[in-house]
Chains A and B, each alone.
Chain A
Amino acid sequence: MEFKERILTAMNHEEPDRVPTMGLILDQSTVNQVLGLDTVDIVGMLRNPETKDVVVQMMSDESSRFTNYYQVHCGVQESAIKLGFDANWSLYAAYMQLVQDPQTPIGYVFHDAFGRVWEFTSDEKGNMLLNYTRPLCETEEQWEEWVESKSAFIDKVIGEVGVFHKKVVEDFGDRIMPIGYAAPGVFENCWQPIGFVNFTKLIFEKPDFIKRVIKFHTDLYLRYLEQVMDSDVEIVLTGDDLAQKTGPMLRPQMIEDLFGESYRRVAEAIHKKNKKMIFHSCGNIYQLLDKFIEWGFDGILTLEPTAGVDLGKVREHVGHNLVLVGNLDVSYLLVRGTRQEIEDAVKKALRDAARGGGYILSTSHSHSAVDANRLRWMVEASHQYGNYPLIS
């Protein structure tokens, strides 16, 4: 069975020849490790007065924003292919613009199209990391102004999303199955540009404004999704972290009241195009499992063990109403774990979730300390122990 059929069979809750694997490759450190590339210390160059201007010019060049990002993403897909994954997520994240910010140590930050500030740091090897740090639209007025002033840029980004996913499928689709990641999702696009504390206050104090924000972002997200789906991507990954370490960020009924219709519309739009939908949420999602089924999701990704999520318990709860993707630990196992520990974890995941299909083996997330050799061991263990019918 070839990779695409393997993934689609599992997505239909049938047993393929073996349990499929999906990569969450994204970080430059992983790409460098797999492809043997040298680290480019962009943050260091931004700090260095001699190189700063050149780097700023390069990072601000609107005409090469798409091309530069695509080139980096090619390394992502090549790495996932080299590691032996059947699929890999494919994310267009070049929706940011470099902006001067004297309050930060480097003097520059990214502002994204939706109203977030992203700051730079680097990992211990010098690879650039980006973190969402603060909102740009803390009041209703600031939000209105932002949305209006950025509408042309948002339109441009949405157009680029379509081109990006088409190109990824054309260039890599014969060697790996790109999973079209449409992120950030509606929930994150609503609260992060406003900030969680402010967003919460506004839910209670200005509910009509919040409903307007949600409607705006749902409509926008559906346009974004259409672009992803216009490529030959067959599975769409939608992304929103609805939970944190101990449970949902909002009361499940509040999520239903505010976002339920949005998620139903998203699932319907994807199914209308005969595509499958996997939903990404970090955190402890137990209390939302029934909602995920009710909203029409086909599968869920991360199943984060550091948030106490047990794969077997999730399978027991959802049965074969949801495809499960992920759960392998990235806090220790795929950073420093031994080969034996990784094999044991793979065997446990297969035992917990893979019977009857409906499980795609994957890490629970990506980050720059995840070790490429350990990812390879994970894939190899799936080849060794993941052949159907499963033995133990």
Chain B
Amino acid sequence: MSGDTRQNLQDSLLALDMQTTIVQVKSVIEGNSEINATEAADAITSALEIVGRRFQNGEWYLAELVYSGEIAKAALELLSPAMTLGIASGRGTIVVGTVAGDMHDLGKDIFINYSKSAGFNIVDLGVDVPTGTFISAVREHQPVALGMSCLLTITAPEVGKVIQALENEHLRDVVRVIIGGAALTETFATEVKADAFAPDAVTGTDIIKRWSE
């Protein structure tokens, strides 16, 4: 492959061109490029940061965010076995779930899709997650962050219950809590003593990146 593969990889991802991205990734794996798999993965992650900024600035939309995440995921899956440094899950673990009584998973899944591509290991507890399951998962996985999603106003109190349970179980100091979803606001996050409120997947991932540094 000729030229600057790192730049080409970024360009193809930002052009939302799955096919070209995968061709370039395969070329890296086969040793036909001037960069190695870890450097290629780093290029993909950098491109995703540009995606995130574009989304936050309102230049890109949910569909582009989701599809670029899919391209990055496919590329990183191919690169992973050939990488010398484990960038794919190098940033740490996030435990994520939608609170009890709430079955909505779109926002949660978009967050998972994006944060996974950004290098986090994700433990997805699914929807309608009871408080006890959040607590057990935090104890078991010792994540950088616990993310709770909530679309319904009626289930918003569940967020506070989980945070209270973390305190009761002496786990509040070992994990940071981030919340998001249509029913939640910054004010609500303060009320229930969450560490952060994320209005979207990119902001949420950025906040957790800072926590993981």
Q: Which residues of A contact B (CB under 8 A)?
A: 105, 119, 121, 123-124, 131-134, 196-197, 200-201, 203-205, 244-251, 254, 282, 306-307, 330-331, 335, 367-369
Chain B residue nearest to A131 in the complex (CB): B103
Q: Are B105 and A335 in contact (CB under 8 A)?
A: no
Closest to B152 in A: A367
B124 proximal to A (CB < 8 A): no
- Is B66 an interface position by the 8 A CB rule? yes
A-B contact pairs, 12 of them (CB 8 A): A121-B103, A124-B154, A132-B103, A133-B104, A196-B62, A196-B110, A203-B67, A250-B61, A251-B60, A282-B182, A306-B183, A331-B183
Residues of A near B105 (CB, < 8 A) are 133-134
Instruction: Please give me the residue from chain B that is nearest to A201 by CB atom.
Output: B70
When distances are taken between beta carbons in the complex, the residues of chain A under 8 Å from B110 are: 196-197
CB distance from A218 to the nearest CB of B (A): 19
The 8 A-B residue pairs with the shortest CB-CB distance in the complex, in nearest-first order:
A131-B103, A369-B154, A251-B61, A200-B66, A250-B63, A133-B103, A249-B62, A200-B63
Residue in B18, B58, B127 whose beta carbon sits within 8 Å of that of A133 in the complex: B127
A332, closest chain B residue (CB): B153
Q: How far is the CA of A124 from the CA of B155 in the complex (A)?
A: 9
Q: Is the CB of B153 within 8 A of A367?
A: yes
The answer to whether A204 touches B153 (Cβ under 8 A) is no
Q: In the complex, which residues of chain B have a beta carbon less than 8 angstroms from the beta carbon of A245?
A: 182, 199-200
* Interface of chain A, main secondary structure: mixed
| Cβ contact within 8 Å between B113 and A197 | yes
Q: For B70, list chain A residues within 8 Å (CB).
A: 197, 200-201
In Å, the complex CA distance between A248 and B107 comes to 14
Residues A204 and B18 in contact, CB atoms below 8 Å apart: yes
Give the CA-CA distance A323 to B109 in the complex, in Å: 35
Nearest CB of chain A from residue B106's CB, rounded to whole Å? 6
Looking at the assembled complex, report how far the CB atom of A59 sits from the nearest CB atom of chain B, in whole angstroms: 18
Alpha-carbon distance between A83 and B94 when the two chains are bound, in angstroms: 46
Q: Could you tell me the distance between the alpha carbons of A134 and B105 in the complex, rounded to whole angstroms?
A: 8
How far, in whole Å, are A60 and B68 apart by their CA atoms in the complex? 42
B57-89 residues at the A interface, CB under 8 angstroms = 58, 60-64, 66-67, 70
Q: Check: B196 CB closer than 8 A to any chain A CB.
A: no
- Determine the chain A residues whose CB is within 8 A of the CB of B153 once the complex forms: 330-331, 335, 367, 369
Decide if A196 touches B66 in the complex (CB within 8 Å): yes
A270 to B104, CA, bound (A): 32
Residue numbers in A under 8 Å from B160 (CB-CB): none
Is B8 an interface residue, CB under 8 A from the partner? no
Which of A197, A204, A248, A282 interacts with B61 by CB under 8 Å? A248
Counting residue pairs across A and B whose Cβ atoms lie within 8 Å, the total is: 85
Which residues of chain B from 11 to 62 have any CB-CB distance to chain A below 8 Å in the complex? 16, 18, 58, 60-62
The one of A203, A335, A367 in contact with B63, judged by C-beta atoms closer than 8 angstroms, is: A203
Give a binary string over B120-158; 1 marks a CB under 8 Å from any A CB, 0 the rest.
Answer: 000000011000000000000000000000001110100
- How near does chain B come to A221, taking the closest CB pair, in angstroms? 21
CB distance from B157 to the nearest CB of A (A): 9
Q: Flag whether B185 is at the interface (Cβ < 8 A).
A: yes
Q: Are A254 and B183 within 8 A (Cβ)? A: no
Q: Within the assembled complex, what's the spacing in Å between the Cα atoms of A248 and B70?
A: 20
Residues of chain B lying within 8 A (CB to CB) of residue A248: 61-62
Residues from chain B with a CB closer than 8 A to the CB of A132 are 103-104
B154 touches A197 (CB 8 A): no
Q: How far, in angstroms, from A197 to B156 measured CA to CA in the complex?
A: 25
**Min CB–CB distance B28 → chain A (angstroms):** 22
0/1 string, B171-182, CB within 8 A of A gives 1: 000000000001
* Highest count of chain A CB atoms <10 Å: which of B16, B66, B183: B66
B58's nearest neighbour on chain A, judged by CB, is A247
Further pairs besides A196-B109, A201-B67, A204-B16: 14, Cβ < 8 Å: A105-B128, A121-B102, A133-B104, A196-B66, A197-B70, A245-B182, A245-B200, A247-B62, A249-B62, A250-B63, A251-B60, A251-B64, A335-B153, A367-B152
B154 and A254 contact, CB distance less than 8 A: no
Contacting pair A307 B200 (CB below 8 A): no
CB distance from A328 to the nearest CB of B (A): 13
Chain A residues lying within 8 Å of B200, measured Cβ to Cβ, are: 245-246
Q: How far is the CA of A134 from the CA of B60 in the complex (A)?
A: 25
Chain A residues lying within 8 Å of B154, measured Cβ to Cβ, are 123-124, 367-369
| Contact of A131 (CB < 8 Å), options: B16, B63, B66, B102 | B102
CB <8 Å contact, A251 and B63: yes
**A123 / chain B contacts, CB cutoff of 8 Å:** 101, 154
Contact assessment for A249 and B63 in the assembled complex, using a CB-CB cutoff below 8 Å: yes
The closest CB in chain B to the CB of A254 belongs to B63
User: Hey, which chain B residues are within 8 Å of A119, CB to CB?
Assistant: 103, 128
Chain B min CB distance to A267 (Å): 23
Give the shortest distance, in Å, between A197 (CB) and chain B (any CB). 6
Tell me the bound Cα distance from A307 to B185 in angstroms: 10
